[in-house]
Amino acid sequence: MKAYGKRKLMLMTVFALAALLLVAATVFATRGDYGVNSGASASSTCGGTSGPSCTISYNGHPASYSATNNDGSYSYQFDDYDCTAVVSPTGSVTIGGEECGGVNSTPTPAPTETPEPDPEN
68 with 44: CB under 8 angstroms? yes
Amino acid at 8: K
Span 36-79, pLDDT tens digits: 444 444 445 888 888 899 999 998 899 999 999 999 999 999 99
Question: pTM of whole model > 0.85?
Answer: no
Span 6-48, pLDDT tens digits: 777 776 665 655 554 444 554 444 444 444 444 444 445 888 8
- The DSSP secondary-structure symbol of 36 reads -
Give the DSSP per-residue string, 37-105: --SS-SB----TTTSPPSEEEETTEEEEEEEE-TTS-EEEEESSSS-EEEE-TTS-EEEESTTHHHHHS
Report the chain's C-alpha Rg in angstroms: 28
Q: What CA–CA distance (Å, rounded) separates 99 from 33?
A: 30
pLDDT (0 to 100) of residue 34: 42
